[in-house]
């Protein structure tokens, strides 16, 4: 698996926590960099933010046009005809990124996997299967992919990983109901999910950024 390019931003010279944040389809690692400044985290919080760029792949729903994507999408109903191979490949990449942070001395309970849309789906897939309890899973405007495989693959350690989920009620890309059903799926498995919903489409709003800040301060 080739190394992905990542944008890395450290909030101070000795970070003791890491947030690995995956962008949505067709975007890149720069997409969520501005949020770091908008969150105005306390100066004493040392976090390494890692924003990887997804591999370029042909996307069926866009007439096969190649673009950055964590997996292929072949239907407007994203939960049908899922690209299992692509999802598993990107989930394995995220696991490797977490393990790279562990090698740099960051313990798993100080690592957050995060993502928006497609990126959030990969964060949920990987975080629920990670062999250690992570600091948290942040899943924005997204859903749990491959839900039928979750019970067989769910990690006992993941039960103790806190989850932040946020979704726009007017989301026209990932339907609100997909996000809400995914939250119920996690709660049914004993996970602690902090759920937020907003009057917005498939995007991020300032109120959400404030909630993300509060959640990160609580878990880190």
Residues tagged active-site: 117, 171, 202
Beta carbons of 157 and 132 less than 8 angstroms apart: yes
Identify which of 15, 86, 8 has the alpha carbon closest to the alpha carbon of residue 52: 8
Identify whether the C-beta of residue 178 lies closer than 8 Å to the C-beta of residue 78: yes
Side-chain-side CA neighbours of residue 202 (13 Å):
16
Decide if 86 contacts 54 (C-beta within 8 A).
no
With CA atoms as reference, report the closest residue to 120 among 142, 99, 101, 104: 142
- Residue 7 is given by DSSP the state E
How are beta strands 65-68 and 6-10 bridged, if at all? unpaired
Residues 7, 202, 126, 47, CA torsion sign: positive
> What is the DSSP secondary structure assignment for residue 3, as one 8-state letter?
P
DSSP H or E segment with residue 126: helix 118-127
Count other Cβ atoms within 10 Å, centred on residue 184: 12
């Amino acid at each position: 698996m080739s190394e992905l390019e990542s944008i890395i931003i450290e909030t101070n010279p000795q970070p003791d926590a890491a947030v690995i944040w995956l962008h949505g389809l067709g975007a890149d690692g720069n997409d969520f960099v501005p949020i770091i400044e908008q969150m105005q985290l306390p100066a004493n919080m040392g976090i390494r933010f890692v924003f990887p760029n997804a591999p370029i792949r042909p996307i069926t729903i866009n007439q096969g046009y190649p673009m950055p994507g964590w997996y292929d999408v072949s239907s407007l109903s994203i939960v049908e005809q899922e690209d299992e191979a692509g999802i598993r490949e990107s989930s394995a990449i995220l696991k490797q990124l977490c393990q790279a942070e562990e090698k740099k001395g960051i313990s798993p309970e100080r690592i957050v996997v995060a993502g928006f849309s497609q990126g959030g789906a990969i964060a949920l897939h990987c975080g629920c299967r990670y062999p250690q309890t992570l600091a948290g899973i942040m899943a924005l405007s997204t859903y749990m992919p491959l839900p039928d495989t979750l019970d067989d693959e769910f990690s006992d350690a993941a039960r103790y990983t806190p989850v932040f989920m946020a979704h726009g009620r007017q989301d026209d890309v990932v339907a609100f109901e997909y996000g809400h059903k995914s939250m119920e799926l996690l709660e049914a498995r004993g996970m602690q999910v902090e759920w937020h919903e907003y009057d917005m489409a498939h995007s991020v709003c300032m109120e959400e950024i404030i909630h993300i800040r509060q959640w990160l301060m609580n878990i880190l």
